[in-house]
Structure 1
């Protein structure tokens, strides 16, 4: 066997090994598409978490300071506002992802034409 012939066979063997590795490699996960129910539950949980945290802080302050439930009402309202703000931020994030995906799809369609 000559030296160039051996190098050629080695290159062919490396190519076969690479092809086998690519065939067995796990496919990358495609972006997860969340159903509308998952998105709705996420927003509901964010809202309830804001309310619960606000209620807990207010109730704790009322117990600690021995006041009327003024802090409970105040912090529950603040928790509601925080929950709504977080929920709107999540909705905006989801909308931006969908618009970016739509733009990619439109761009691919224009490239095909």
Structure 2
């Protein structure tokens, strides 16, 4: 009943558990640090929507305070849209520059190379 545990199987099991838990291993790649394209797309959408909502809320607040028709609402909605688009473009430029520098650093392997 008291058998000695198989150390090779236990080490393999510990390695599988560590891989599932996400502990950093020795052969961890750099690809885990980069954001996926869908995450960047959602970031840009959120930047645009937040700019719009901020502009709409400021415009609505000014219209409420000054008891006016939705003049400020329209003006600040447009300004919020412009601010959101500018933020999106700035983010896209930053991502593009980061991608270019990452591509410049990463060596390109020729398919004919064996070593």
Q: CA deviation at 1:29?
A: 8.7
- Measured in 2, the distance between the counterparts of 1:66 and 1:37 equals 42
> What residue in structure 1 maps to residue 46 of structure 2?
45
Displacement over 3 Å in runs of 4+: 26-31
Task: Compare CA radii of gyration and give the structure with the larger one.
Answer: 1
Q: CA deviation at 1:75?
A: 0.1
Does 2:90 match 1:86?
no
Give me the TM-score of the superposition, normalised by structure 2: 0.66
- Measured in 1, the distance between the counterparts of 2:68 and 2:53 equals 20
* Aligned-CA RMSD value: 2.4
Q: Any unmatched runs of 5+ in structure 1? A: 1-25
Bigger share in helix: 1
Alignment of 1:1-113 (within 5 A): 30=30, 32-106=33-107
* Count of residue correspondences: 86
- Measured in 2, the distance between the counterparts of 1:103 and 1:29 equals 18
| Alpha carbons of structure 1 residues 70 and 29: separation in structure 2 relative to 1, 3 Å | farther
